[in-house]
């Protein structure tokens, strides 16, 4: 079988990993550890703060090395809780994420199906402690040989410079880009990143969102099975 691509760059959260499930488990565990109620209302408050902080990061208003501490500092102020150190709390939470390496349905099957035909790498804007620990604890650790984390590279998707570093490490030359693809759920970081880097894009879109006008997407896949079928020319 001749696959459509030699290199497949895979987003991590909400493409391979069930981040929402892991996040719920880890934040509840963190709240309990620090003596804070872990009811759904409190969890929702954390999620709201976390969303705001990541939005600032995406706009370039907040450095990634400040992101983790800042979200818990704001959350503690919102909850009017004194005592816990935000940096320590964030580290406990990140370690918790690594303890819950839940995969999305079909993620392991996709990677094992592709591995004999393509070389696989993860490209993520996530935080180093969570991403390295979670991959190491997951069932994907033996099929994905490369992990590129924005915090380590000092760059993030969709910046072309991020992909330049990835390509340099993997030995992907200009002429190899036609046989390289990125798979991800985010239009702003994964799909736009692939477009910026000059490679094909597969939008993993299980919610069936409307395709935006004027954005060139090589494939829109409602399932991870469909991702595999496109890559393998089935």
Q: Which residues pair with 181 in a beta bridge?
A: 8, 200
**Is there a domain that residue 154 lies in?**
yes
Residues 113, 93 share a domain: no
Average pLDDT over residues 38-52: 95
Whether residue 128 has pLDDT greater than 90? no
Which among 99, 132, 166 is the end of a domain? 99
- Report how many domains make up the chain: 2
Q: Are residues 71 and 112 in the same domain?
A: no
The per-residue pLDDT for 83 is 87
Range of the domain at 110: 7-17+103-231
Global pTM reads 0.90
Does residue 142 sit within a domain?
A: yes
Strands of 105-205, DSSP E: 119-124, 146-149, 180-184, 200-204
Q: Is residue 10 classed as helix, strand or coil in its secondary structure?
A: strand
| 118 and 202, same domain (yes or no) | yes
Active-site residue (options: 6, 11, 85, 200): 11
Question: pLDDT class for 58, splitting at 50, 70, 90?
Answer: confident
190: CATH: 3.40.50.1000
Query: Is 13 annotated in the active site?
Result: yes
Contact between residue 182 and residue 11 where contact means Cβ atoms under 8 Å apart: yes
Cβ neighbours for 9, distance < 8 A, ≥ 6 positions apart: 121, 122, 123, 166, 180, 181, 182, 183, 194, 199
pLDDT of 43 > 80? The answer is yes
- What is the distance between the alpha carbons of residues 134 and 149, in angstroms, rounded to a whole number? 13
Task: Please indicate, yes or no, whether residues 88 and 143 belong to a single structural domain of this protein.
Answer: no
219-221 vs 146-149, strand pairing mode:
unpaired
What single-letter DSSP state applies at residue 191? I
Q: Are residues 141 and 196 in the same domain?
A: yes
Q: Which of 13, 185, 190, 200 is catalytic?
A: 13
**Does 89 lie in the same domain as 113?**
no
Cβ neighbours of residue 34 closer than 8 Å, sequence gap 6 or more: 81, 83, 84, 89, 92
Q: Based on the residue annotation, tell me whether 11 is a catalytic residue of this protein.
A: yes
User: What whole-number percentage of the chain has pLDDT above 70?
Assistant: 100
**Is residue 85 included in any domain, yes or no?**
yes
Cα angle for residues 90, 32, 65 (degrees, 5° grid)? 5
């Amino acid at each position: 079988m001749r696959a459509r691509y030699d290199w497949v760059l895979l987003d991590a959260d909400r493409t391979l990993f069930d981040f929402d499930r892991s996040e719920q488990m880890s934040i509840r565990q963190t709240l309990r550890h620090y003596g804070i109620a872990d009811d759904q209302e409190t969890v929702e408050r954390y999620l709201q703060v976390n969303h705001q902080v990541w939005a600032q990061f995406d706009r370039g208003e907040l450095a990634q090395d400040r992101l983790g501490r800042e979200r818990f500092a704001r959350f503690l102020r919102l909850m009017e809780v004194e005592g816990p150190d935000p940096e320590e709390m964030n580290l406990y939470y990140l370690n918790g994420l690594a303890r819950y390496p839940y995969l999305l349905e079909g993620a392991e099957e996709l990677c094992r199906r592709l591995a004999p035909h393509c070389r696989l790498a993860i490209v993520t804007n996530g935080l180093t402690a969570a991403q390295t620990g979670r991959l190491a604890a997951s069932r994907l650790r033996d099929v994905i040989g490369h992990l590129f984390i924005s915090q380590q590279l000092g760059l993030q998707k969709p910046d072309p410079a991020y992909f330049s570093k990835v390509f340099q490490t993997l030995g992907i030359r200009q002429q190899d880009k036609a046989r390289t693809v990125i798979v991800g759920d985010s239009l702003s970081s994964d799909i736009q990143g692939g477009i910026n880097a000059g490679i094909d894009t597969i939008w993993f879109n299980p919610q069936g969102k409307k395709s935006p006008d004027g954005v060139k997407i090589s494939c829109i896949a409602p399932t991870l099975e469909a991702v595999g079928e496109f890559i393998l020319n089935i």
